[in-house]
Amino acid sequence: MVCGIVRRGIAGGVLAVVALSAGCATWRGGQAKEVTRTVTSMERTRAELARAQVQVDDVLAAMSQLTVVPLEGLRPAFKAFTSQVSQTVSQAEAARRRADAMRGRWREYIESWEVEIDRLSSPELQAKGAERRQTVRENYGRLRDVARALDDAYQPFLRQLRDIQRALSLDLTPEGVRAAQSTVDLARKSGGDVRARITDFIAEIDRVMAVSPPGK
């Protein structure tokens, strides 16, 4: 273990390289904080994504309920669906903000350790740091890509949920529900796509955070 750091690293070996060469005081005061902030941001993003996944399930369940309740249960079912749509929109936005913050933290992290690498006097350590540079950038790129894929998946899903909500607000009858069935089917499929993209995002975070701790 290097300088008592026990949090998981983001880029693996490069963190140990910087720590070993920059000195414990510099590492604790500078780069260690960047590592901690970056890991914390990823953990919070993962938690937000897990909440988003649960919310997708909840809104799909509320939507399905609209298609099976008797006439007397339609109004409370629609009220529940409307609430779930609002929560889904809010949760999607929260997940997007958290992912944006995580990517920003990654950029700061990359810039920070690249500065430390440039300060190294040992050609050997510089070479080791350079070897890791591409891995770090690839990790950032993958996180960026899965975040974009999730955002792309959310757009049609939210649009379809709103369309169902608007249509039934104008015609809250069994006939109105039947008329909206094609959009319900599309929303169900889009919801599955969102869940899959959330799963991909969480898996990518887990993959990056499974890198061995610095100096281990």
Contact 213, 8 (CB under 8 A): yes
pLDDT band, very low/low/confident/very high, at 34 (cuts 50, 70, 90): low
pLDDT digits (tens, 9 = 90+) for 63-80: 999 999 999 999 999 999
DSSP 3-state of 51: helix
* Residue bearing the bigger pLDDT, 28 or 68: 68
* Token pair recorded at residue 76: 């409370």
CA 126 vs. chain centroid, Å, equals 32
Residue 6 in any domain: the answer is: no
Residue 213 in any domain: the answer is: no
pLDDT band, very low/low/confident/very high, at 84 (cuts 50, 70, 90): very high
Least confident of 30-44, 80-94, 133-147: 30-44
Residue 116 in any domain: the answer is: yes
Residue 31 in any domain: the answer is: yes
Count how many domains the chain has.
1
pLDDT band, very low/low/confident/very high, at 211 (cuts 50, 70, 90): low
* Residue bearing the bigger pLDDT, 60 or 110: 60
Residue 183 in any domain: the answer is: yes
Q: What is the CATH number of the domain that holds 49?
A: 1.20.120
H or E stretch at 38: helix 32-66
pLDDT digits (tens, 9 = 90+) for 126-175: 777 777 777 777 888 888 899 999 999 999 999 999 999 999 999 999 99
Residue 22 in any domain: the answer is: yes
End-to-end, the C-alpha distance of the chain in Å comes to: 5
* Residue bearing the bigger pLDDT, 34 or 74: 74
Q: What is the predicted pLDDT for the residue at 126? A: 72
**pLDDT for residue 121 is more than 50:** yes
Indicate if the alpha-carbon torsion angle 188, 153, 90, 202 is positive or negative: positive
Residue 151 domain boundaries: 13-205
Residue 69 in any domain: the answer is: yes
Residue 5 in any domain: the answer is: no
